[in-house]
A and B are shown apart, each in its own frame.
Chain A
Amino acid sequence: MILKVENVSIRYITGDFKEIGLKEYFVRKMKREYKVNEFWAVDGISFSLDKGDMLGIVGTNGAGKSTLLKAISGIMVPTKGVVERQGTIAALLELASGFDGDLTVKENAYLRGAMLGYTRSYMDETYDKIIDFAELKEFESRPFKQLSSGMKSRLAFSIASLVEPDILILDEVLSVGDGAFRKKSEQKMKEIIDGGATTILVSHSIEQVRDLCNKVLWMHRGKQIAFGETEEICDRYTDYLEGRLKL
């Protein structure tokens, strides 16, 4: 077993000090009027994956998919439950964010590489490959903010897909760039998956999930509706989407 998620729950708190500030917090605390609203974005999810498994996570907007991925990738500590991981993990979440608009494309590439835990020598070696794959050679020394959003995601994808992790997390990243690049990126993803990585894919395309995944997790408003074989769950999910099934 390479990944085990056990009864994981994540709670967000709203209406507390982030909105009101320190002064108001003290005033309300004094008046005993201070209260917060809880919101369980992820509520009691359990599953486990073996080496080479490919899990698809499906669910409507706000189901808690992205939050769950943050817990799995270790960015977030779950409020309850545990995530056990074996081996290295690479998460490709919301690719285009976290870049700096004022830095050049090259500088951003190095910064991102550093964030993903690559070494400088590794970046020196692979930088040309990255920029070629992203087809951004002529934009190399432009400030990042001048790039189109498609170009940004292309760069992000090219850097991130270099890794050969044991667990790979993909959040809607297979829909990056224009048609030609999309083909190329799907090809690249398949290579990584065929290399034996355990992969988790969040997708709104049920065909893609049927195509690629051998297991499916269905989430709805933070709760786990089902986990198991692809065909059965995808059928039920499609029924739900088309209104033949009520939750």
Chain B
Amino acid sequence: MLNKVVKYRFLFEELVKRDFKKKYKRTVLGMLWSLIAPLLQLGVMVLIFSKLFGRNTDHYIIYVFTGTLLFTYFSDATQGGMRALLMNAGIFSKVDVPKYMFLLSRNVQALINFALSLVIYFVLAILSGINFQWYFILLLYPIVCIMIFNLGVGMVLSAMFVFFRDIEYLYGVFVMLLNYLSVIFYTLDSFSEKAQMMFYMNPVYAYINYFRKIVIKNEIPSLRLHVLCAFYAVVMLAIGCWVYKKYNYKFLYYV
């Protein structure tokens, strides 16, 4: 395994570079655009929903931004990851390379984008007078978890996408629905205790809530939430690896 990492490091770096250049088309604006788009979305949401939810929510802008930040990372990494394999079919059908490379490099791309947004997130947090504490370092925990989770989802989707091309549309609808279920611009105050727990069935919400607990509520999340975050990540990655192991050699017949 370690051997493979060393052997394919060069390829991995080159793939990341390629994806990066292609995405931003070597322009400053290209890079800026991928930041502006989610910010505009945030602006509209805050503008409209702050009348509805803003009065009872502390730091409503940051509240919404936390949601869009993590959800955008999730949808970017998984939707991009889904296509990563098929887009590179021309390569792996001619050269013997490990196929997960393409998925990994796409995920790194999404992570870079996420990191850039995270910088803006913190700038806005400072501007809104968020109380920074030492335990903000704990934010690394949900970030690592969602990274692994996204990778796992990407593995499943990219494999399925090779076999079923209409997954693209089905998953698009799924992401939209999940977006509304991820408590991004509204609050759960009016739901019963039991219903509030149900929302934890959505992994993305678990990660969003972890963020909010630290940044907005200034409290260290419970052990249960820690376990839940890791649980989703590990289970998803395990499923992803299993799917890859099982179908990986079949991809070629379908590209």
Contacts and interface: CB of A to CB of B under 8 A. Distances in A.
Interface of A: 12-13, 17-18, 21-23, 25, 70, 73-77, 91, 93-94, 97-98, 100, 102-103, 107, 110-111, 113-120, 123
Given A98-B94, A107-B17, A107-B18, A77 B166 contact: no
Contact of A21 (B10, B22, B166, B249): B166
Given A75-B95, A76-B252, A103-B21, A111 B163 contact: no
A98 B18 CA distance: 13
Contacts of B164: 17-18, 21-22, 25
A120 B10 contact: yes
B116 interface: no
Nearest to B163: A17
Interface residues of B, number: 30
Contacts of A98: 90-91, 94-95
Contacts of B15: 111, 114
Contact of B252 (A22, A75, A111): A75
Contacts of A102: 21-22, 25
B166 A74 contact: no
Contacts of A18: 163-165, 254
- The 10 residue pairs across chains A and B that have the minimum distance between CB atoms: A21-B166, A114-B11, A22-B164, A77-B249, A114-B14, A98-B91, A114-B10, A111-B14, A115-B95, A74-B96
Contacts of B96: 73-75, 91
Interface string B224-253: 000000000000000000000000010011
Given A21-B164, A120-B10, A115 B97 contact: yes
Contacts of A111: 14-15, 18
B57 interface: no
A93 B17 CA distance: 25
Most buried by A among B96, B97, B166: B96
A111 B254 CA distance: 24
Contacts of B165: 18, 21
Contacts of B10: 113-114, 118-120, 123
Interface string B149-183: 00000000000100111110010000000000000
Interface string B48-92: 000000000000000000000000000000000000000000111
Contact of A100 (B22, B94, B95, B167): B22
B166 A23 contact: yes
Given A77-B249, A119-B10, A103 B18 contact: yes
A117 B253 contact: no
